[in-house]
Each structure stands twice: as C-alpha cells, then as structure tokens.
Amino acid sequence: MNRWKFFRRAIFMAFTVIFLLSAVVGATVKLYTASGEGYCYESESQDIAKQRAVDKAVKKATKEAGVYLKNYSRSVNSELTDDEVTAITSNAWQLVGEPKFTREIINHSGDTQIIVWTATVEVNVDDSEIQSWIKRDDKDKLQIISQTRGAQKSAEENERKIEDLREKYNRATSQAEKDSIRKQMTDADRDFLANQKLEEGLKLYYAKDYHGSIKLNTEAIELKPDWSWPYNNRGLAYADLGQKERAIQEFNKAIEMNPRLSQAYYNRGFAYYLLKQYERAILDFNKAIELNPKYAMAYNNRGLAYNQLKQYKKAVQDFSSAIQICTNLTQYKQSIQSTNYSAERINYQMLYARRGGAYYNLGQYEQAVQDYSKAIEIDPNWIMHYRRRAEAYKALKRYDKAIQDYNKVIQRLILPEFYYSRGECYQALGETEKAQADFAKAKELGYNG
C-alpha cells in the first residue's frame, strides 16, 4: 500500500472510530419473545412443522426488533431505510436457549387430524449492530440487502405454496390425486429446508464467515439443485475470499438457473471489474440495468468501468443516473417496499465526487468544482474532496481558492505533494516567500516529483 493510501485509510478510520464511540454509548442488547405456528397432517413430517413454527416465531421477534432499531437509528442521527433495518434484524439476531413447543391436535374432517405446533422463542438483538452496519461499505450493504430480499421472497413463496397444496389436498376426491399432492407437499418441505440453509448461510455471510456461508449454500443446493440464489450467494462468499474466477463460475450458474436475476449479472460484472476486464463488466452491468432500471449501484459501477476505459462522458452519464435514483430514493422513501429499488443508501457524497472526477478528466473544471463542493457539503470530513477540489480550482487558475482547500488538507495530512501543490499556487500568485517555504517543506518530507 502506498503512503497516500495508508494515510487516507488512517484518517477515514480515525473519523469512523470517533463517530462510533460517540454513538455506541448507551448501546443495549434487547430481548424479544414471540410465538409462531406450524401445522401438518399426521402423515407429514412433525420436525418440519416444528421448524416452520420456529421460523415464524423468529421472524415475528425480529420484526418487532426492527421497529426499535429504526427508532434507535434516529437517536444516533443515522436513520436507516426499512431495507437496511430488515437486513440487520434478519441476520444479527441470536437465539436465547431452546425454543419451547406446545402441540394441539385438531380433528379436521372424518378421520383426518391436523397437528398444530406452537413454538415460542427468545432472541437477542444488539442495537450496536447499527454501528457495525454503518462501518460496512456500500457494496457489502447492497449484497446483504439483496440476499435478504431473495431469502424472504423465497420463504413467502414457499409458505403460499404449502398452503395452496393443503387446500388442494382437502378438495381432492381420489387417492391418486391425494398421493400426487402429497408428493408436491414433500417437495415443498424440502424447498423450505433449502431456504433455511440459505438464511443460515446469509447470517454467516453477514458475520463475514465466508467459508461457513459457502458450506450452507452448498447444502441448500444439494436440497434444491435448480435454485439460483444459493449459487449467487456462494459466489459472493468466494468473491470476498478473493477467489474471483471461482465466484464468476457461481454467478454463471445462478444466471443459467434464472436468466432474470439482475443481482447475479451485477455481481458477475463487479467480479469482472475487479479482474480489470472492464468491457465484460460493462456488458453485465448493462444487463442488470435492463432487468432493473433503478439499479443505482449498477449505474455507479458501470460509470467506474467507463472511467477506467477513459470514456469519461459515459461515466458522467452513469454517475448522473445514480445520483438521480438516489435523489428519488430520498424523496420517496415510502415507495421502497413497492418497487424493485436497489439504490439502498449508496454513499451519496462519493457519487458526486466520482462524477466530479469524470468532469475533471474531461477538462470541465467548473462542473468538477460544483460536484466536489456538493460532496463536501454532504460530508465535510472527507479530506480527499478538498484535495480534488483544490486541483480543479488550480486548473481554473483560482489559486486563492485552491490554497484554502490545500490548507484544510495539510491540517490533517502532512504529505509532501500537498505542500508542493500549494507552493505552486503561491508562486502563481507571486507570493514567492510562501512558495519557497512550501517547496522546502515538500523537499524535507521527501518530495521527488
């Protein structure tokens, strides 16, 4: 890691730690108790009925926890979206003790009996998880949110399917029809178990246990081999382990299973981006955007790929699209649940900074200044924005403004290139003594440019 990257990371971590230490005061672990029911016929698996009951109970408890965390996030001045709260509560809960079960037998019709299992659980949710969430980068947040959505959608579909099959079974008039439906119910139970593995794997991914996540997603695939989500999620775990080629193989498989899974195209595109295969990355981001026109992160990352290819006009267009989506997200939060919306709290200030960089590379320095100024307005503590705005001011020969920004940078980072650049501004203004002092300081610090 070069010196600049080291100092930049150090400063960022310093500000993060200060913020988190101030916010974590008063953090508490809260206990939530909830009950859920699972029922089945005598001939069905009692264990799966009990697991369904536990699953419903846990989801009720974490939903209640989500209401609290939403309010708590406001108290630390970092209000989370509903999707973020769901991602946290779905993956950060801890079971306290063992579930408690009660059983009730209901005579349904004739000799048919329904067994109702009620599970009562206690789960802990720590509100300091909000601070852990804040520390995650945008890519990580987006992946967890999309995985959580996928698991929840699959669980809801499975619940509807099993209920529909039970109704069909009750209306069946022949034994052959009943046997056929019973087989479908067995398949639905297997799918439920696969989804349980998927959710457990996501919890481990959330905890950054990538090997454990791979293992559980593999078990999900064994239960349901034609399912796209476990391949997608296993690919994400491989990517975070640095095995990008292996990750691409998993995303290929996910796309083969479901050619309309926009997240798999996005994830494969990002893997190609990390491998510096920018043209292939762009093709995948194109497909992700085609399937989900409001996929802000896909626009953002396609813009980054265009930047790498020096296609700065296209980069500006993509960063502008991402900014517009995020603006709409801010203005219309209530629509998040009813749209396929993947903006998810992208680091707003970085979008402006990236577009500012593209404008700078196009020689459109006024627009660059405007974007860097907007980024600074959003986050005044991000030093790099001042440095880049200083460079844009310097290109515009507005040396006094550039010096003001270099002053802010030098107050926090003592690096030779900043002194040298400020010295050039002083020299351009005819302030020779200050220029020579800065050049001397730069040389003292090892400047050799």
User: In whole angstroms, what is the distance from residue 361 CA to residue 304 CA?
Assistant: 13
User: In whole angstroms, what is the distance from residue 274 CA to residue 420 CA?
Assistant: 33
User: In whole angstroms, what is the distance from residue 21 CA to residue 416 CA?
Assistant: 32
Q: How confident is the model at residue 44 (pLDDT cuts 50, 70, 90)?
A: confident
Q: How confident is the model at residue 220 (pLDDT cuts 50, 70, 90)?
A: very high
Q: What is the pLDDT of residue 27?
A: 58
Q: Give the closest residue to 264 by CA, choosing from 137, 86, 140, 143.
A: 143
Mean pLDDT, range 196-203, rounded to an integer: 97
Mean pLDDT, range 344-365, rounded to an integer: 87
pLDDT(1) > 80: no
Look up residue 111 and give its two tokens: 């000799």
HEC string for the chain: CCHHHHHHHHHHHHHHHHHHHHHHCCCCEEEEEEEEEEEEECCCCHHHHHHHHHHHHHHHHHHHHHHHHHHHHHHCCCCCCHHHHHHHHHHCCEECCCCEEEEEEEEEECCEEEEEEEEEEEEEEECCHHHHHHHCCHHHHHHHHHHHHHHHHHHHHHHHHHHHHHHHHHHCCCHHHHHHHHHHHHHHHHHHHHHHHHHHHHHHHHCCCHHHHHHHHHHHHHHCCCCHHHHHHHHHHHHHCCCHHHHHHHHHHHHHHCCCCHHHHHHHHHHHHHCCCHHHHHHHHHHHHHHCCCCHHHHHHHHHHHHHCCCHHHHHHHHHHHHHHHHHHHHCHHHHHHCCCCCCCCCHHHHHHHHHHHHHHCCCHHHHHHHHHHHHHHCCCCHHHHHHHHHHHHHCCCHHHHHHHHHHHHHHCCCHHHHHHHHHHHHHCCCHHHHHHHHHHHHHCCCCC
CB 22 within 8 A of CB 433: no
Look up residue 341 and give its two tokens: 């919306």
Taking the CA atoms of 177, 181, 186 and 190 in sequence, report the sign of the dihedral they define.
positive
Q: What is the pLDDT of residue 346?
A: 55
Q: What is the pLDDT of residue 77?
A: 65
Tell me which of 314 and 18 has the higher pLDDT. Answer: 314
Please report the domains of the chain, with CATH numbers, ordered by start residue: 1-135 (no CATH), 138-259 (1.25.40.10)
Contacts of 369 (CB under 8 A, 6+ apart): 356, 389, 392, 393, 396
Q: What is the pLDDT of residue 130?
A: 86
Q: What is the pLDDT of residue 114?
A: 85
Q: How confident is the model at residue 127 (pLDDT cuts 50, 70, 90)?
A: confident
Q: What is the pLDDT of residue 316?
A: 98
Mean pLDDT, range 102-126, rounded to an integer: 86
Establish how many alpha carbons lie within 13 A of residue 138's alpha carbon, considering only the half-sphere containing its beta carbon. 16
pLDDT(245) > 70: yes
CB 119 within 8 A of CB 57: yes
Q: Give the closest residue to 378 by CA, choosing from 355, 404, 410, 398.
A: 355
Q: What is the pLDDT of residue 167?
A: 87
Residue 82 main-chain phi, psi, to 5 deg: -60, -40
Mean pLDDT, range 70-89, rounded to an integer: 82
Q: What is the pLDDT of residue 362?
A: 98
Q: What is the pLDDT of residue 41?
A: 78
Instruction: Characterize 318-330 residue by residue with b for buried, 16 or more Cβ atoms within 10 angstroms of its Cβ, and e for exposed.
Output: bbebbbebbebbe
29 strand-pairing partners:
126
Q: How confident is the model at residue 332 (pLDDT cuts 50, 70, 90)?
A: very low
Nearest 5 degrees, angle CA 428-CA 433-CA 434?
A: 70
Distance of CA 216 to the CA centre of its chain: 20
User: In whole angstroms, what is the distance from residue 243 CA to residue 364 CA?
Assistant: 39
pLDDT(439) > 70: yes
pTM, two decimal places: 0.84
109 strand-pairing partners:
112
Place of tokens 């990390």: 274
